[in-house]
Amino acid sequence: EVQLVESGGGLVQPGRSLRLSCAASGFTFDDYGMHWVRQAPGKGLEWVSGISWNSGTTGYADSVKGRFTISRDNAKNSLYLQMNSLRAEDTALYYCAKGVTLAVAGTGFDYWGQGTLVTVSS
Amino acid sequence: QSVLTQPPSASGTPGQRVTISCSGSSSNIGSNTVNWYQQLPGAAPKLLIYSNNQRPSGVPDRFSGSKSGTSASLAISGLHSEDEAVYYCAGWDDSGAVFGGGTKLTVL
């Protein structure tokens, strides 16, 4: 059974940093691209970032480019999101999602975690 | 303002067929495949349709997707009460993955 478990969310002040983690199991982790998708309270879905199976390709939404960094450790079946210079508008539930393919672009997201809540507020 | 445009709401009665539209542009839907997600209240999204019209295993064949030009649509036939959810279309453009704003489906 595919499982994605996010952690690392919490309350953080504007301008500070936070690192999210996603522990994956139930599938061959290094065969697939992985993504972060967020959902602000009461709002729709927003893709944040994606990484290819071997970390060779990464992509970021314009809203987070230059502030967030995605990475993965295939030996640990884990995905990460380093979030710096956080803003109030980054407040959201952050989902880890598995890509249907090994690439970053052009894929659907076939498994999702339950999300970890990030609240940016002073 | 979402890149892909969906109607904010849709409704139907049990057993009815409903369709949800998704409009984009030549840079996203027009040049890439479309995926659809279902989000039940309080739950994570679930992939319903990928590559325009493919169903992941376990998704009932009551759900179907299609694409034409820069638009796509999701059809749900034989509507069930448990289909009440928010449905999102999604695609890709040069800036990354893009989503529609979501359509809240109410089963009357």
The pLDDT of residue A105:
87
pLDDT band at A103 (very low <50, low <70, confident <90, very high): confident
Closest approach of chain B CAs to the CA of A10, in angstroms?
Answer: 19
Distance CA A35, CA A58 (A): 9
CB contact under 8 A, B99 and A61: no
Q: Which two tokens stand for residue B32?
A: 């890439």
Q: Which residue has the higher pLDDT, A106 or B48?
A: B48
pLDDT over 90 (residue A28): yes
The pLDDT of residue A101:
87
What is the tens place of the pLDDT at every residue in A41-88? 999 999 999 999 999 999 999 999 999 999 999 999 999 999 999 999
Query: What single-letter amino acid sits at A104?
Result: V
Query: What single-letter amino acid sits at A49?
Result: S
**Averaged pLDDT of chain B:** 96
pLDDT over 90 (residue B1): no
Cβ atoms of A72 and A57 within 8 Å: the answer is: no
Mutate to test the interface with A, among B31, B55, B59, B99 (most CBs of A within 10 A): B99
pLDDT over 90 (residue A102): no
What is the tens place of the pLDDT at every residue in B49-83? 999 999 999 999 999 999 999 999 999 999 999 99
Mean pLDDT for B9-17 is 97
Q: Which two tokens stand for residue A71?
A: 């990475």
Comparing alpha-carbon positions, the chain A residue that sits nearest to B49 is A108
What is the tens place of the pLDDT at every residue in B25-47? 999 999 999 999 999 999 999 99
Rg of chain A in Å (alpha carbons): 13
Distance CA B99, CA B4 (A): 6
* A15-34 residues labelled b (16+ CB within 10 A) or e (exposed): eeebebbbbbeebebbebbb
Comparing alpha-carbon positions, the chain B residue that sits nearest to A98 is B47
Cβ atoms of A23 and A4 within 8 Å: the answer is: yes
